[in-house]
Amino acid sequence: MVPVVQGDMGSPERHRRHRLAIVAGVVSLLAAVPACSSSSTPTSAPVSTTTTSTSPPVTFQQGSAAQVVACQTDAQNLVTALDAYMAEHGAYPSPPSPWSAAAYAANFAPLTSAGGGGPYMAKASATTAYVIEYDSAGHVWVAPPGSYGATYNPGQNFEANPDICLAAVR
């Protein structure tokens, strides 16, 4: 560390040394973080993943990396749309019907229609790899394709667990 000398507070040399110390600190932090390797092309073949805890390991099929990213993006877009709707109306929208395959797209109408200050999002996400739902309390949850929950499931909450898409994507 460079000692501070009275009257030296604004000198260009002191600012240069301070910037160099910051850069050196950042470089040392980056050196301490293990390097992550990634491919610029997402995998398309399903990958078998095993998670462990104090209970026996659970294995599930994970979809492609692109599908997981799409799920996370769609869920975050829904969170953003709900927040915008709330800011405009003072309450979250209610899905018009109980969640089902038949009602899925229509349940997004409060967020996708041009009326009432919208649209807040372009369209409902596809349901071929995952299902994303919301409720009038602003909860957003993610489930595997073909799974439509009548009510909010805290175990599938996207905001509490953004990695839920890893378990949901098929």
Whether the upstream peptide bond of residue 119 has omega within 30° of 0, thus cis, is yes
Coil vs helix vs strand at 53:
coil
Strand partners, 134: 140
Residue with token string 């000398």? 5
The mean predicted confidence, pLDDT, of the chain is 75
Identify the pLDDT of residue 149. Answer: 85
pLDDT digits (tens, 9 = 90+) for 29-46: 333 334 433 334 444 444
CA distance 166 to 49: 9
What would the mean pLDDT of 118-124 be, rounded to a whole number?
93
In this structure, are strands 131-134 and 58-62 parallel, antiparallel, or unpaired? unpaired
Which position has the higher pLDDT, 53 or 126?
126
pLDDT digits (tens, 9 = 90+) for 50-93: 444 454 454 444 558 999 999 999 999 999 999 999 999 999 99
What would the mean pLDDT of 96-102 be, rounded to a whole number?
94
